[in-house]
Copies of this chain bind each other. A is one copy, B any other.
């Protein structure tokens, strides 16, 4: 019988595709086995557990978003950089909703430390370099930006802004305007 050529890498990648197509909660070892036309137990040589598979997808998504972020920030500064980074998250979530949902998975501390999470924090800090903030206000601003990006994308993905005026794209643009204005006029502590 011919072999399917499985590997952790391929399983995680296929899991990510499945997540985007059917939703992250449909990502299951069984479904993946069906997709490869292979018996379920066979996957357990490549993946420790169902949770391990999902974690792999989360790490992949974080990695991919960080790559996009680096590319988007190259050569940009100020509001231009802010908008570019913001759009990385929104676009990625739009194109890969399952992966994006995976990235929101709660990782245990050591996995999180080994993830691309740090790159994301660094990217946001890079954006803030175009504004005039000093510690600890800069960290507060990092957290604000992270909250807005994540919160907006999440609400939009959940359908919160659909089918109601004004268009979500307009709100997004105006929110970026607003954040830019806020960062340029950050209130005194």
Contacts and interface: CB of A to CB of B under 8 A. Distances in A.
Interface of A: 104, 106, 109, 112, 136-137, 139-141, 143-144, 146-152, 154-155, 158-161, 165-166, 168, 170-171, 174-175, 177-178, 180-182, 185-187, 189
A141 to B, nearest CB: 8
Instruction: Give the copy number.
Output: 2
Contacts of A136: 165-166, 170
Contacts of A178: 140-141, 144, 182, 186-187
Closest 8 CB pairs of A and B: A151-B151, A147-B151, A147-B152, A181-B187, A140-B174, A150-B151, A182-B182, A136-B166
Nearest to A112: B159
A131 to B, nearest CB: 12
18 contacts: A112-B159, A140-B166, A140-B174, A143-B152, A143-B155, A143-B161, A143-B168, A143-B171, A144-B148, A144-B171, A144-B178, A149-B151, A150-B151, A174-B189, A178-B182, A178-B186, A181-B185, A181-B187
A180 B182 CA distance: 10
Nearest to A167: B136
